[in-house]
Structure 1
């Protein structure tokens, strides 16, 4: 059986994973789920997909993944990034998967719209990406069917690069209607359910899910911080990067 272990706050990582192979979803953004109850077997295949946050696996996704019991299932790792770079994300994800009992047999680095500076990799994965990802899955499937469990060589460094220390906490405007969608959807429970105008900056990971799902556009990144980020990313995101396969 194929499982998708997904950390996809704004949907880009989910779109990439679906373009590769659909399966039973284990949602790593669910802060109420008991991930220790997830048990796979050696007959299963796990597509483990996360976004790259500053060249690393999101810390909360790493914590939740380590609770899953891999059971020697074969794992296809997927790192999704917004056209800047993914740096040490794949090697970190490989180490996490191996420590949890998975057998890593393949990996993909793929593109999706940047979750904050959305003009970068806008509308990706696009149709061309999806066609490429389908072809990559055919190659992965051939390796799986052949019983080839060799571990792919992955780009990245150990020790991993340091995590960033700053998070862009979205602001809430007076347009907020207190519908509660952001409080229910926040992967880390950072938004006060009694007062959605309040976000705990020590818990927020800047994933932008609240921005994505707000029905009235009341939550947005700080405009000055966003402008600075866009300017910083411009030379790094000028060229269209392509999806990569590691077998």
Structure 2
């Protein structure tokens, strides 16, 4: 069986993993942003998994690590996919590899792909574009060919210990446009929004994944514009030049 496993709060990572998974059939999707018991998933050597996560400050989102660590595998071949908003992915691939290997997966291939930044959309805007998509499909053909041969563990860039990540100050809040439909609360991967009072956000729980902004039907949830503008200026130089997708 083939599995498309992803943590994709705003949809960018899923867009990439789906481009890959569409080349395999049948495929079962496993959404790591949902609240469920992920210990129910156990994979065999005959299975094939695609695991995709976004890079949060050069690291795998902690909640994704936590949920992947609940799964078990038995030398299951895995293609790792890391997406990032045209800045850098730093230690994300290495951390993902270490996590999956510890759970019994065999990391034999990997991609690092640029997606539109989930907060500052001007960085990587429109990516993956048509050219990116064609390249990802081409990468997938290479991966399918590898699956017909003896698989070996790959090396990926990154350093141990991983870089420190303490989160960012951008925590979305609700405006008067909020109709208290509760969609954001039901969709929040870490339950940081009160279902009875969705205008309230627990800033200590919030991981700044921006899922609440992405799913809000009235566009009521926003980031602080002053902090957002400051963040844009801080990242502008690092994100200026378009990065290339990579296959490992």
Alpha-carbon RMSD across the aligned residues, in angstroms, is 0.9
> 2:71 is matched with which residue?
68
Structure 1 residue runs without a partner (length 5+):
none
Structure 1 residue 164, shift from structure 2 partner? 2.3
> 2:91 is matched with which residue?
88
SS at match of 1:123: coil
Structure 1 residue 165, shift from structure 2 partner? 4.0
4+ residue runs of structure 1 moved beyond 4 angstroms? Answer: none
- Aligned equivalents of 2:3, 2:227: Cα separation in 1: 37
Count of matched residue pairs: 244
TM-score, length basis structure 1: 0.97
TM-score, length basis structure 2: 0.96
> 1:144 is matched with which residue?
147
Q: 1:214 aligns with which of 213, 216, 233?
A: 216
- Aligned equivalents of 1:65, 1:193: Cα separation in 2: 26
Q: Is the 8 A contact 1:167 1:204 kept in 2?
A: no
Q: Is the 8 A contact 2:5 2:52 kept in 1?
A: yes
Structure 2 residue runs without a partner (length 5+):
none
Matches within 5 A, 1:27-46: 27-31=31-35, 33-46=36-49
> 1:108 is matched with which residue?
111
- Aligned equivalents of 1:123, 1:130: Cα separation in 2: 11
SS at match of 2:42: coil
> 2:12 is matched with which residue?
12
Structure 1 residue 166, shift from structure 2 partner? 3.2
After superposition, the C-alpha distances for 1:167-203 in whole angstroms (9 at most, x for unaligned) are 4210110110001110111011000011011000111
- Aligned equivalents of 2:246, 2:19: Cα separation in 1: 14
Q: Is the 8 A contact 2:167 2:207 kept in 1?
A: no
Structure 1 residue 103, shift from structure 2 partner? 0.6
SS at match of 1:50: strand
Q: Is the 8 A contact 1:167 1:205 kept in 2?
A: no
